[in-house]
């Protein structure tokens, strides 16, 4: 029963839509009605600026990490995975570095996300993560590719929007 509650708690933490709440609270904007309509950090950054976009990204990361840490602390590695995210901090940092480099090189958040997703399981193996963590990161990578089908199509058609660094234009 404790494990089920931990997994449900992780789900509740993960369902907190910071990308919706922060713009609404700080600027009064309904992020679902601007830009791509996505509540992700990239859309918040594009439409509301760097500080708010970075805040959303950090809060999204923190909620997953909190859920996973609680799951591991009060349960075990499997519960941590089910409650939050893969607990492979070095692999995650390495994949984050891949994301940053890919984003700065291409200015496409989708390319950065796809490359980070593809390398995360490889980094998990490199840093000695358990088979459970490696399997989870591989599954997450497949899911990320599936969720980015439209982006992949736009990239192939050369119609994907490139991210512009600098001041927002509203």
Question: Running DSSP on this structure, what letter comes out for residue 160?
Answer: P
Can you read off the two tokens belonging to residue 23?
A: 């713009």
Rounded distance between C-alpha atoms, residue 109 and residue 56, angstroms: 15
Rg of the chain's alpha carbons, rounded to an integer? 17
pLDDT on residue 5: 80
Tell me the percentage of the chain whose pLDDT exceeds 90.
38
- Please tell me the distance from the alpha carbon of residue 163 to that of residue 108, in angstroms, as a whole number: 6
**Cβ atoms of 88 and 137 closer than 8 Å:** yes
Distance, in Å, from the CA atom of 7 to the CA atom of 9, rounded to the nearest integer, reads: 5
Evaluate if pTM is beyond 0.75: no
**Token pair 């982006």 is at which residue?**
151
Of the ranges 29-43, 85-99, 148-162, which one carries the lowest mean pLDDT score? 85-99
Question: How far is 55 from 60, CA to CA, in rounded Å?
Answer: 8
| C-alpha–C-alpha distance, residues 146 and 159, integer Å | 19
How large is the average pLDDT for residues 43-63?
87
131-147 vs 149-156: helix crossing angle, rounded to 10: 60
Averaged pLDDT of the chain = 84
Tell me the per-residue pLDDT of 87-127, one tens digit each, with 9 for 90 and over. 667 888 899 899 999 999 999 989 999 999 999 999 999 99
């Amino acid at each position: 029963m404790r494990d089920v509650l931990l997994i449900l708690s992780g789900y509740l933490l993960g369902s907190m839509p910071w990308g919706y709440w922060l713009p609404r609270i700080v600027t009064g904007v309904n992020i679902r009605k601007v830009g791509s309509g996505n509540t992700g950090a990239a859309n918040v950054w594009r439409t509301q600026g760097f500080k708010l976009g970075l805040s959303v990204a950090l809060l999204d990361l923190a909620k997953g990490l909190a859920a996973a840490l609680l799951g591991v602390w009060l349960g075990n590695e499997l519960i941590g995975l089910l409650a939050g995210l893969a607990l492979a901090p070095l692999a995650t940092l390495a994949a984050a570095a891949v994301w940053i480099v890919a984003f700065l090189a291409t200015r496409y958040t989708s390319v950065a996300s796809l490359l980070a997703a593809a390398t995360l399981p490889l980094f998990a193996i490199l840093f000695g993560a358990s088979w459970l963590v490696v399997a989870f990161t591989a599954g997450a990578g497949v899911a990320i590719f599936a969720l980015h089908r439209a982006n992949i199509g736009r990239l192939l058609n050369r119609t994907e929007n490139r991210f512009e660094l600098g001041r927002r234009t509203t």
